[in-house]
Amino acid sequence: MTAEPGTSSSSRQQSAGHRSHDATDLRRIGIHPDFWYPVALSRDVPRGKAFAAVFAGQRIALYRGQSGSVFALEDRCAHRQVPLSMGVVDGDTLRCCYHAWTYRGNGRISQIPYLPKGVDRPPRGVRAYPVREAYGLVFVFPGEAEKADDADFPKLPGFDSRHKTMTFSRTVRCHYSFMHENLLDMNHQFLHRKILGRIQPKLLGYETGPQFVEARYLFIPEGGKKDRGAGLLSAEGVSGSRSPDAITVRTQYPYQTLQAVPVNSEQPAFSLWVAYVPEDAEQRTNHAYGLLTIAKPPIPGVLDVAWPLIRRFTERVFAQDRMAVEAEQRAWDEQGEDRNHEVFPLILDVREVLRANGVPLDPPGF
């Protein structure tokens, strides 16, 4: 069941008791591979170097050839299965460090140095992944390669000269779904009380569909007095614009965004885009890649001066969130199932979105 556009949070809560939710444990659902996922920062793959990346247990060798293009190959040499990420870049090819078998960017073997004349090469090399580079990140398409061209690529309108961008790259030891729930459920601000002060988030309403859930919040300081930390959650706090402390958080499968748009403006004062990329096959660890874009204020240099403070603020908040979601994962590991009792309809709906768009994980040992 989905909400019609404009449905308020109160009407959603009234209907929640009459709805049944899929009982499948969400933590046993894998992220769908038929999307573009960041697997490295661009700076991690300098020209002429290889880099070991991973997606949900698939080891991927990235390398940047002399032409400047980045290629993505299965990280196992077809010969003896030694990681190609340990190899040597030669022009736009990659040589295995062991016997120097050489691969093109399409995964085909271009040379076996000691192959006797008249002996055929193996019929195939290694898998090549579609790869794109944007926003200072390297994206791969780990699903069916023929679907890559038609798959939507993330669009970040704030990634331009009018905004300043902060990049985040952190490993978090939990299932990716805990991350979606954490950002969407702003009722956990009590966790950040020593950083933000006492604030009361008010859910203004939310909408949901087959692939998304979007919630709108208003942050109200307790006692009516704005705390310095709470102000950083507003458009005024980061860019100098005068705006209510309204925040929109959206899970648009498989990505997530958080935005603050000032009154009478079409562009957000600040916007956070995040992708949670599973690392292990059981998907109990993910790598969070985030891009925080902040509109530059009219006075040049002001944002540059504030940048270290904004970085410190966001890192402190993220550290507390990571502590909480990793604790949730430990509880799941200890109990062998999801025993939490969720009462917030918004989170029940995002779980349905993640469950319906994901793929079941194979049981351990399969």
Confidence (pLDDT) at 182 = 97
Phi, psi of 258 (to 5 degrees): -135, 130
- Does residue 191 sit in the same domain as residue 123? no
**Residue 120: CATH number of its domain:** 2.102.10.10
Q: Computed from CA positions of residues 357, 362, 363, 364, in that sequence, does the dihedral angle turn out positive or negative?
A: negative
Above 60 in pLDDT, residue 127?
A: yes
Above 90 in pLDDT, residue 324?
A: yes
In a domain, 50, yes or no: yes
Above 60 in pLDDT, residue 229?
A: no
Summarize pLDDT for 65-104 with one digit per residue, the tens: 999 999 999 999 999 999 999 999 999 999 999 999 999 9
Confidence (pLDDT) at 196 = 83
User: How far apart (Å, rounded) are the C-alpha atoms in residues 144 and 129?
Assistant: 9
- Does residue 144 sit in the same domain as residue 159? no
- Residue 6, both tokens: 């404009």
Summarize the confidence of residues 262-279 as an average pLDDT. 83
In a domain, 38, yes or no: no
**Residue 223: CATH number of its domain:** 3.90.380.10
In a domain, 365, yes or no: no
Domains identified in the chain, total number = 2
In a domain, 287, yes or no: yes
In a domain, 3, yes or no: no
Q: Is 111 exposed, middle or buried (0-12, 13-18, 19+ CB in 10 A)?
A: middle
Confidence (pLDDT) at 83 = 97
* Domain of residue 84, residue span: 44-150
- Does residue 211 sit in the same domain as residue 346? yes
In a domain, 139, yes or no: yes
- Does residue 184 sit in the same domain as residue 231? yes
Confidence (pLDDT) at 263 = 59
- Does residue 134 sit in the same domain as residue 170? no
User: Which of 177, 174, 189, 187 lies closest to 325 in space, CA to CA?
Assistant: 174
In a domain, 84, yes or no: yes
Instruction: Name the pLDDT band for 268 (thresholds 50, 70, 90).
Output: confident
Summarize the confidence of residues 170-190 as an average pLDDT. 96
**Angstrom distances, CA of residue 243 to CA of 98, 183, 187, 357:** 60, 21, 21, 35
Average pLDDT, the chain: 87
Summarize the confidence of residues 238-263 as an average pLDDT. 77
Residues paired with residue 137 on neighbouring β-strands, in sequence order: 41, 134
- Does residue 188 sit in the same domain as residue 325? yes
- Does residue 194 sit in the same domain as residue 265? yes
Confidence (pLDDT) at 262 = 67
Range with lowest mean pLDDT among 65-74, 117-126, 198-207, 260-269: 260-269
In a domain, 4, yes or no: no
